[in-house]
Structures are given as C-alpha cells and as structure tokens.
Amino acid sequence: MTTEPRSEITEQPSSATILAPGHTFATVSDKIGSIVLARGTRFGWLVGFTLSFCLLMVLLVAVSILLMKGVGIWGINSPVGWGFAIINFVWWIGIGHAGTLISAILLLLRQTWRTSINRFAEAMTLFAVACAGLFPLLHMGRPWFAYWMTPYPSTMGLWPNFRSPLVWDVFAVTTYGTVSALFWFVGLIPDLATLRDRSKSRAARKAYGILAMGWRGSAAHWHRYEVASLLLAGLATPLVVSVHTVVSFDFTIGIGPGWHSTIFPPYFVAGAIYAGFAMVLLIAIPLRAVYGLQDFITVKHLRNMAKVLLATSMIVCYGYMMEAFFAWYSGNPGERFMILNRMTGPYAWTYWSLLACNLVTPQLLWFARVRDSVPALFVISLIVSFGMWLERFVIVVTSLSRDFLPSAWGMYYPTRWDYATFLGSIGLFLTLLFLFIRFLPMISIFEMRTLLPEAEVEDHAGH
Amino acid sequence: MPGTETPVYGLMAEFTDTTSIVAAARKAHDAGYRRMDAFSPFPIEELGEALGYHTRGRLPKLVLAGGAAGCLLGFALQYWCSAIDYPLNVGGRPLNSWPSFIPITFEMTILLASLVAVLGMLALNGLPRPYHPVFNVPEFRLASRDRFFLCIEASDEKFDPGTTRSFLEGLSPGHVYEVAS
C-alpha cells in the first residue's frame, strides 16, 4: 500500500493532546508498523543492542562462575545472607508493576492516554519479571533443584511449607509472569495480524501469520476480545497488588527489626509503582526521540507520568516517616535501635542517599517547568530508579547486619560478582527490550486507531 | 476452480468509514440476513450491536467457573498436603492453618481465571484458524489497516447471488467482492 502524504501531521503536538492531529487509520498503522517492517537496522538500535548484549554476556560469565563455585563468590555470609540477590529481586519485580498498572488499572479507569505507552510498559513488565525471577533461583545455590519449590509427589514424600512466604512468592511470581505474558500476547494479536497483512517478505508474513493465529477482525471476535480484555484487566489489578504484598511478606513475616511492620504491604506496592513509572519514563524518553514518536507519546503523557511519580513518591515517603514513627512509638528497643542504626550506623550514607533520591529529588516535579522538561524528567527518573534500589538495600542489609544480638552483628560487602550479576541483569532486560522494539510493534496499533476522531460512529441510522 | 458452479462463500462489501459500516450492518440485519459478519481494524461497539451481539456471552461465566476451580484447587492442595498427607505437629498449632493458605489460594484463583479468559476467548472465536475464505479477497488485507468489510455468507437462507449483490450495492460501498470458498 502506498503511504499517504503525512505533511499535515503535526510532529510537535500541543501539550494538551494525547495524539497529534492529522493522523488517520492508515498513517497510524503505517508509522508504527514500519518501525518493525522496515528493511535494514537503524544505527542507534545496533549500538544500543550491542552494548546491551555485552552486558548480557557479563551476566553469562557471572552466572557461569557462580554455578561453578557457588554463592560464596558473592558477599553474602552470616548474618547478611540476603545480599544483592534479594535487593535486585525486589527492585526488578517492583519495576514490572508499573506496566500492569498502566495496562490494567488505567484501562479500568478509562484513561485513554495510556494507549500509546501500555504496550512497551507491558513488555517492560514481562522482562523485569524475567530478571527478577533469576535472582531467587541463583540465590538458592543449587538452581537445578528449583523444582523442589513446587508441590509435586516426590520420592522424598515431602511437600513445600505452604506457611512460608517464600513458597507464596513462588506462586505469586509465576502467576504474575504467566498473566502478564497472556495479557501482553492478547493485546498483540490484532497488531500481529496488521503486520502479517503489511509485511512484504515471505518469512515475516509466515512468522506474524502464525502468531496472529488467523485473526481477521471479525465483529464477533472483537466483541469477545473486548470482554476478555476487561476481565483480564479486572483480574490483573488485584494480582499486581497481591504480588508485591507477598514480596513484602518475605520481610514482614520475619521478626527482624525494621521488617515486622504492618506498613510494609502498601508501602511496597506504592514503591513498586514509583520505581516502575520511573523506568517507563526512562524507556519512553529515548524511544520517542530515536523513533520520532513525539506525535504518539506526547508531552501530555510525560506530564501525566511525572504526576504519578510525584504522587507515589509522597506515599513512599509517608512509608519512610511511618517506619521511623513506629520504631519510636512502639517503645521496642530493637526497633528503636534499628532506626537509629539506619540513620547513624555504618550504612547511614545509604539511608540519607535514599532520602535524597526518593524524597527530595521528586519535589522538583511540583514545578510545571520541570514536568515539561524532557531532560529533567529523564534525570529525575534515573535518580528515582537508583533511589528505589537503595531503599531495598537499606531494608535488607541494615536490618540483617545488626539485629537484636550484638554478638551476631556483621558487615556486608558486595563483591565484584555481585555487581557483575546486577549489571548483567540490566543487560538481559535491555537486550530483550531491544529485540522487542525490533520485532514487535511497541505501540498498540489497534488501540491507537480507536483514539482517532474518525473512529467515532455518527449516531444516526443511514447517511 | 473450473466449471460454472464455482462454490461461493459469500459476498463482501468494502467501506471506508465507521459510520457507513455500522449503518450497512444495521440495514443488512433489518433486511433479515443473519449468517453474516463484519470486519474492522479495531473494535467498534456499535458494529457488534448492529449485528445483534447485545449480551456479554458465555465468557464471563466460564471465567467465573475457572476462578472458582482455581480457588478450590489451590486450597485443597494445601489442605491435603499439610493436614492429611504429611501432618506435621509444630508446637501444637492447627494443621489446617487456613490464614496462611490464603495467598496461594488467591494466586491460583487468578491464574486459572486468566487462563480461562484467554483460552476461552480464543476457543469461542475459533482461533487459531490460519485459513478462512475471507482471506481469498486480496483487498481483505486492508481489514487490518483502514478498511471495513461486511460479508453475507452464501449459507444464509435469504442469500441469492443477484439480489444480495444489488442489496449490498445499494448500501453505497466502495466495492462488492465475491468471496471464493
């Protein structure tokens, strides 16, 4: 199909719109589809993919050495047995939650601005869950026995301990990964059909054709499709809250100082959305610049996400305040010592850096000029992502390194393999993301069509 | 296929905007055609209504059943393992410690309900189905881009190659195509 002239499309739409004026069904389909179907590869993509792939190889080396030598290559030891592995697990799974929030909760709330960001945010969820799942497996020491966590009739005659939050985690994270993948794939089916019908090469037509499963846009199919999407959104919404609640149970069910607290589930869920929105911004800003998607991911999107970032930062900071308040108000010497140790102990710098990143920095978002500045949003998102990682470091390490018994205290020093595994997981995430951008439409084409004014049906029979 | 009696799947009219396809579907439904389908590049609520899809169908009930099954299975699994197959007395605490079984019960509920929602949607839609006669019309590939199609099937009681064609042409479509079977 020949491409219609696009000269009338405003490349820099006014800040109040979520889609630049001038687009039609055809231009929306062609612009998003052509990113995937275009022959040749962009130089920027190649550079980004190469760097990510190098980081992925760092992960491969780190994991190979880990499997050869055991978890002793990491800095974990008694009393801090949960080092980077658990910090990274909680960080990654939290990042994933923004994708589900955007795709499910904002769908139920009829927030149409989510349309252009939900696809890659869902992909982000999927890849973040993949990175998250890696860490508890590696932390087991003998990952080849991971299946012992599942209930199956074994010759040992044993069952997993269903009263343990670690087993709840297995169910929560596998369910979350499965449902996220289903939700993502269901959203892709109509767009895969578009790619099937538009691709010129035989191989691409075959591949997209198999994945599209013969989708033909029948009204009866769309009707059921919409019902299924709504049901999935309704199911994913409580799921996303439950997953991070269960993750927080890993801490709260234990009696460690600073962990045994009722504020943890809501505070973890808010922190997850906070970190996740920062990551969505970190991905959206370069994507729209490199692929010229300013007419789809407009200033309004960035502004809305900045507001979500600010709101969730306030909830998270309420959590930090309440942690300190509970410690004082409980009168429990262990809890009081924990908060003083966080503020003045050997890891005090991590606590104050975390407050600088997560409490002070996002206050800049109160200013409309900062919310409208793309570079400022990128830098703030980077700082928030780092701050949320530090938060998990503070929770895991300060409580474990100094608990109730001074004779059992000990410091935690991460080794270079800890850092290598963490950086490597970022490589895995970015590699998957680059492959996704190259081979699948990063913006939901069919949902973008529904945003167009011409999608409206004029309400009079006949014309 | 050779011969004069080429099997025909139906007649298909092409439209370029949402208002005309909805109006056309409504008129075809009013004219008594039932075995027909409309095709669009995105969901149009009014189009489904024009073709007579007013209820949510069977899917929500199936999903509810899936969720209930997941809930029962999840709890039964934990109860059977902890209280029947391997009862372990931990300081005299109850074997059926149901509050700690809730998270897994909940996750299993969501998992089975979601699987039923997706697989049920695909199954009720008859997908995967790689081949369908409508794909025989070369222009049909625009149904996933910016065109709208209304196809009246030859198996409809009222279908007649001549009158149905003139009926469709009366709806002022862009084209009317014959869909080979």
pLDDT tens sequence for chain A (463 residues): 444 444 455 555 555 677 777 788 888 888 888 888 877 778 888 898 999 999 999 999 999 999 999 999 998 888 988 989 999 999 999 998 888 888 888 888 888 888 888 888 899 999 999 999 999 999 998 899 988 888 998 888 889 989 889 999 999 999 999 999 999 999 999 999 998 888 888 888 888 989 989 898 888 899 899 999 999 999 999 999 999 999 999 999 888 888 888 888 898 899 998 999 999 999 989 888 888 888 888 888 888 889 999 999 999 999 999 989 988 998 888 889 999 999 998 999 999 999 999 999 999 999 988 888 889 999 999 999 999 999 999 999 998 999 888 898 989 999 999 999 999 999 999 999 999 988 898 888 888 888 887 778 776 544 4
Residues of B in contact with A179 (CB under 8 A): 110-111, 114
Predicted local confidence at residue A260, as pLDDT: 87
Task: Please tell me the distance from the alpha carbon of residue A228 to that of residue A95, in angstroms, as a whole number.
Answer: 25
Buried b (16+ CB within 10 A) or exposed e, B57-92: bebbebbeebbeebbeebbebbbebbbeeeeeeeee
Name the amino acid, one letter, at A87.
Answer: I
Residues B82 and A159: beta-carbon distance below 8 Å: yes
User: Are B41 and A26 within 8 A, CB to CB?
Assistant: no
Residues of A in contact with B130 (CB under 8 A): 209-210, 213-214
Residues B105 and A227: beta-carbon distance below 8 Å: no
User: Are B19 and A1 within 8 A, CB to CB?
Assistant: no
Give the count of alpha carbons within 13 A of A380, CB side only: 29
Among B48, B97, B111, the residue with its CB nearest the CB of A222 is: B48
Predicted local confidence at residue A13, as pLDDT: 57
Residues B143 and B41: beta-carbon distance below 8 Å: yes
β partners of residue B12 = B151, B177
User: Are B145 and A209 within 8 A, CB to CB?
Assistant: no
ipTM here = 0.90
Predicted local confidence at residue B113, as pLDDT: 95
- By the 10 Å C-beta count (0-12 exposed, 13-18 middle, 19+ buried), B162 is classed as exposed
**Tokens found for residue A6:** 């696009």
Sheet holding B175-180, edge to edge: B36-39, B148-153, B8-15, B175-180
β partners of residue A459 = none
Predicted local confidence at residue A4, as pLDDT: 44
Task: Please tell me the distance from the alpha carbon of residue B40 to that of residue A194, in angstroms, as a whole number.
Answer: 11
Among B40, B82, B128, the residue with its CB nearest the CB of A219 is: B40
Predicted local confidence at residue A2, as pLDDT: 42
- By the 10 Å C-beta count (0-12 exposed, 13-18 middle, 19+ buried), A190 is classed as buried
What stretches of chain B show up as alpha helix (H) in DSSP?
Answer: 18-30, 45-50, 59-79, 102-124, 161-169
Residues of B in contact with A25 (CB under 8 A): 41, 145-146
pLDDT tens by residue, A154-170: 888 889 989 889 999 99
- By the 10 Å C-beta count (0-12 exposed, 13-18 middle, 19+ buried), B5 is classed as exposed
Predicted local confidence at residue B3, as pLDDT: 44
User: Are A227 and B26 within 8 A, CB to CB?
Assistant: no
Read off the DSSP letter of residue A218.
B
Predicted local confidence at residue A103, as pLDDT: 83
Predicted local confidence at residue B122, as pLDDT: 93
Among A194, A242, A246, the residue with its CB nearest the CB of B144 is: A194
Read off the DSSP letter of residue A5.
P
Buried b (16+ CB within 10 A) or exposed e, B21-48: bbbbbbbbeeeebeebbbbbbbbbebbb
User: Are B145 and A1 within 8 A, CB to CB?
Assistant: yes
Listed in sequence order, the residues at least 6 apart from A14 whose beta carbon sits closer than 8 Å to its beta carbon are none
pLDDT tens by residue, B6-27: 678 888 888 888 888 888 888 8
Say if residue A190 is preceded by a cis peptide, omega within 30 of 0: no
User: Are A214 and B142 within 8 A, CB to CB?
Assistant: no
Predicted local confidence at residue A354, as pLDDT: 93
pTM of the model: 0.89
Cα–Cα separations (whole angstroms), residue A445 to A25, A30, A119, A215, A305: 9, 9, 9, 14, 21
Among A185, A213, A223, the residue with its CB nearest the CB of B48 is: A223
Task: Please tell me the distance from the alpha carbon of residue B66 to that of residue B60, in angstroms, as a whole number.
Answer: 10
Among chain A residues, the shortest Cα distance to B63 is held by A231
Which residue reads 């289903």 in tokens?
A: A182
Q: Can you list the positions of beta strands (E) in A56-122? A: none
Predicted local confidence at residue A9, as pLDDT: 55
**Tokens found for residue A224:** 């059921």
Name the amino acid, one letter, at A312.
Answer: T
pLDDT tens by residue, A38-50: 777 788 888 989 9
Read off the DSSP letter of residue B172.
-
Task: Please tell me the distance from the alpha carbon of residue B169 to that of residue B160, in angstroms, as a whole number.
Answer: 14
**Residue B90 C-alpha from the chain's centroid:** 51
pLDDT, tens digit only, all 181 positions of chain B: 444 456 788 888 888 888 888 888 888 888 888 888 889 988 888 888 888 877 778 899 999 999 999 999 999 999 999 999 888 888 888 999 999 999 999 999 999 999 999 999 999 988 888 888 888 888 888 888 888 898 888 888 878 888 888 888 888 888 888 888 7
Buried b (16+ CB within 10 A) or exposed e, A351-367: bebbbebbbebbebbee
Predicted local confidence at residue A463, as pLDDT: 42
3-state secondary structure of A392: helix
Determine what percent of chain A is predicted with pLDDT higher than 90.
45
Read off the DSSP letter of residue B35.
S
Task: Please tell me the distance from the alpha carbon of residue A435 to that of residue B94, in angstroms, as a whole number.
Answer: 51
Predicted local confidence at residue B92, as pLDDT: 87
Cα–Cα separations (whole angstroms), residue A378 to A279, A303, A370, A373, B111: 9, 12, 11, 9, 36
Read off the DSSP letter of residue A396.
I
Predicted local confidence at residue A380, as pLDDT: 94
Predicted local confidence at residue A15, as pLDDT: 58
What φ, ψ does residue A361 adopt, rounded to 5°?
-55, -50
Residues of A in contact with B78 (CB under 8 A): 162
Query: Which of A36, A107, A162, A445 to mutate: most B Cβ within 10 Å?
Result: A162
